[in-house]
Structure 1
Amino acid sequence: MIDERIVENNIFSFATNELSQDAFICWCLNWINMPVRDDNESGRQFGSQFLSRLLNGAYDVSKVNRVYIFRQLLNIDVLVLVPELQAALIIEDKTSSQEHGNQINRYKCLLSKTFGSNQYNGLDIYQHLSEEKKEKQKKHDDTACWGAVNSIRWALRDEQKELDLSKYTIHTAYLKTDWFNDDDWNTVWELEKDPKTNTYVDGPEFLSLLLSCREWNNPILMSFVDYLSSKIRATIEHSCFWEYYKDIDGHIRFYIQDTAIAQRRFLQTVFNQPNHEAPFMTDLKQHIENIDDSHVYGRIDDVSHTHTIQHGSSFGTPWSLMHFWTRSLDRTVDADYWGFQNTNEDNLTVKPYMFWRIDKIKEGPVLSLRYYTWWEKGKEDNGENNTCSYKTRVYNYINDLISSSEKISLILADINKLYGNEANKGKVWSKGKLCKQYENTLLQFKLNKILIDWNDAAKRTEFISLIRELNEELTQEIEKVEWDIVRKGVLK
């Protein structure tokens, strides 16, 4: 039996960052290196099982007796070399963050260069740099690769440089113990003909792997099991966007104000975002109470009507947005989105970048329809120059289009009727006004009353139906507009 005090005073409740999780992953794999003894057998089997999963079952690892584990070599979270298989495994480990700066492709390219192989030489990891910065970065990377190959040869006792590293095949695994957002799914699925990763493991699958060895009763393993199961339960609990608590001042505060997972689940529910079931949740139900929710850990289907949901935070408060229509962002929209300056009106975005966004205002959580653009603020004109005049024109055009649509007006009136009463005569929705800022609100729905009544099945069903009808009508109206004519000021 495990001493209950170990579980209660769990080191992983304090060691929650990615470096601590890196260490646990290394500990799991390092059991392969333990001497062949009866008291090590369970650990060695577990390490081999874990390695096999991270290599996506591509090798028979049953005879592997030695792995070399490196942390932060070439900034890779965990690098595992398996000489008996001539395989190298890059593990990109995440707790709650996501890949950034094209990390995985960069690691593959640098490791390929370190090995002197051609496996990933074709990757261009410098394409976004100027010529001057490109040369500087290449010199820096060459030095890093030289240091890395020396570290590897020293660890493998290859002082005579007899080992041919170019024969090693590089594999990549993406492991994240928190829920996967759309950026995570793009990382592991984005290029199926040339995948960025060879395999991925999410929180429920990792927990399932650990539970498969629970008879081992290793206190470190079981402490992590306890920590991870608690984390998954908390994520599921916090995804319930309609649930609320009272803050220290007695004010109602919904989970949708505090967590991105609650915001994501709201957008999925209201806008009919399809979702796979997470395959490992069924197995976990046998061992962990209150973990029954495949919706939270399932991945979004990659189908034509699925919109990307993005997440971020503003001054520590999370926000989430869903693209208003499915289309790839063209160059000028990308420039607008990332805040680069467009000085020539001929190069300005033809289609406006619009989305539904969840965040909060002083009165509580809101669902907003927003229009995003980059405002070039001059010293004298307070933003009113040739660039901003176009963007003002687009905003006003969309606002007028929404106001003049009889069908949209009826839908909005029905939403107000649904949640109006004698005590609450104010509108659930309101129109925005133009400000010289990146995001401008077109429509805004206060969610307090809507979420308080969420367990009223009839109201909930009607609200969702009305929002989907509104979204469909808006999409049809906006897509009919000839935006190049609006841009030129011909259509006003």
Structure 2
Amino acid sequence: MLEKNNLFSFATSELSQDAFICWCLNWINYPDEMLYPMAKDIFSKLLKEENLENEKVEILRQYKKIDVLVILKNSKKAFLIEDKTYTSEHSEQIKRYKETIKNDFKEEINDVKTVYFKTGFWFSDDYKTTIDENKVNIKIDRKNFLDILNKYRGKNPILDDYYEYFEEVTKQEEKEKNYFISKEELNQKKYWELNIAWSAISQYEFMRKIFPEGYIRSGRSIGGGVYTQYDILEKKIFPDTREENLPEDKRTYTVFWRIDSKDKIGSYISINFYTEHGKGDKKPRAREDEYIKLKEKIKKIIDDNFIKLEEVECRFYDYWEPNLLMVSLKNYLISQEKFDELIKAIKIIDEELRK
């Protein structure tokens, strides 16, 4: 917790950050003020726009739900800034907003640059958004932004509060990235107090250590707990459909690794079998025949490779997502040696299961 009474300890929403971004950029319209050079730095180093002499800059917040819209009237350019703190882009927001600007400013704007600006931790969804240059032209993360603000600390208390707040956020993230636990913690703490149980950042770092490449899905369950997933079988066995009353032998399924937690077991990593289903489907809700085949395949992989894991018993349940394999994590997080042992086993199982 910050020692001083910091404005941004309370102004934590994306709307608050929208206002701060607008405030920072708007100093470009005050060339005689102390923070004018800061705005100029943001435009030139982050937005790659240096020719601002005699430019008329208009800054709009929440124009048709667009977080920040910057219009350079003389050069007929616009910067569409999608601002995120702790969420990621959804529903093709940037693409839709760009079309809005093109339609609404046909005469005033010739060139629209899209900007993905996120000061929170970057997950796969964030990298997925910014990898497409046809959709996002510029990406700005916390370090990019703070590196510029750092030069102007001491010149304005609002700027100082913002910088100091995100210094603390960075420190907290570094703590959350650590999924290891000591034997003392293991004995003294409840499972839900451990980073791997409650922190999406910790789970993401854990999964990324196993799988350096590929898409990692981060989310929250209906009960509010965090989970993290990584696909094994990305191609579905049967044609995808959402028809009602879909016959059991036509239902598709996906298989993936999942980090999650539950009472009695604590945090675990599992292989889950999710069955696609229609709205009116009758029980049983999962492909039991395919489930059994995959479970037998996993058992054979483990036996053939002399893998010893602290497995939790799994069986077929009459619901959408039964576990094929479940391994309690607590005893694998007390040392690098135990962790490496687990990672080696997971990689063998994953490689063989994909064949």
When normalised by structure 2's length, the TM-score is 0.89
Q: Which residue of 2 aligns with 1:397?
A: 293
Partner Cα separation in structure 2 for residue 176 and residue 374 of structure 1 = 33
Partner of 2:140: 201
Measured in 2, the distance between the counterparts of 1:459 and 1:243 equals 12
Asked if the contact 2:6/2:161 (under 8 Å) is kept, the reply is yes
Amino acid paired to 2:162: F
Aligned in 2, Cα 1:268/1:358: closer, same or farther, shift over 3 Å? same
- 1:112 maps to what in 2? 102
The yes-or-no answer on 1:266 pairing with 2:206 is: yes
1:89 deviation in Å?
1.0
Structure 2 letter corresponding to 1:323: D
Distance 1:18 1:353 in 2: 34
Task: Give yes or no for contact 1:48–1:61 (8 Å, CA) kept in 2.
Answer: no
Contact 1:408–1:473 under 8 Å retained in 2 = no
Does the CA contact (< 8 Å) of 1:241 and 1:263 recur in 2? yes
Correspondence for 1:365: 267
The whole-number CA distance in structure 2 between the counterparts of 1:64 and 1:201 is 26
Q: Verify: 1:320 aligned to 2:228, yes or no.
A: yes
* Matches of 1:64 and 1:346, distance apart in 2: 68
Is the Cα–Cα contact under 8 Å of residues 369 and 441 in structure 1 kept in the other structure? yes
CA contact (8 A) 1:341 1:374 kept: no
Gaps of 5+ in 2: none
- The CA deviation at 1:398 is 1.3
- Correspondence 1:83 to 2:73: yes
Question: 1:371 corresponds to which letter in structure 2?
Answer: F
Q: Whole-Å Cα distance in 2 between the matches of residues 346 and 367 of structure 1?
A: 28
The separation in 1 between residues aligned to 2:340 and 2:89, in whole angstroms, is 37
Deviation readout 1:62-90 (Å, 9 max, x if unpaired): 41553111111111011111113211111
Q: Which has the higher helix share?
A: 1
The CA distance in 1 between the partners of 2:52 and 2:260, in whole Å, is 50
Residue by residue over 1:293-333, the C-alpha shift from the partner in whole angstroms, topping out at 9 and shown as x without a partner, is xxxxxxxxxxxxx32100110122110001114x4679944
Query: Structure 1 61/236 Cα, relative in aligned 2: closer, same or farther at 3 Å?
Result: farther
The alpha-carbon distance between structure 1 residues 46 and 187, as it changes in their structure 2 partners (threshold 3 A), is same
* 1:471 maps to 2:353: no
**Does the 8 Å contact 2:312/2:326 carry over to 1?**
yes
Query: What residue number does 1:71 align with?
Result: 61
Cα 1:235/1:375, change in 2 over 3 Å: same
Q: Cα RMSD (Å) of the superposition?
A: 2.7
Amino acid at match of 2:202: A
After TM superposition, the structure 1 = structure 2 runs for residues 194-343 of structure 1, keeping only pairs within 5 Å, are: 195-214=134-153, 217-243=155-181, 250-252=189-191, 253-269=193-209, 271-273=210-212, 306-314=213-221, 315-325=223-233, 327=234, 332-333=239-240, 335=241, 341=244, 343=246
| Structure that is richer in strand per residue | 2
Shift of 1:197: 0.9
**2:255 match:** 354
What is the TM-score when the length of structure 1 is the normalising length? 0.65
Structure 1 or 2, whichever has the larger Rg, is: 1
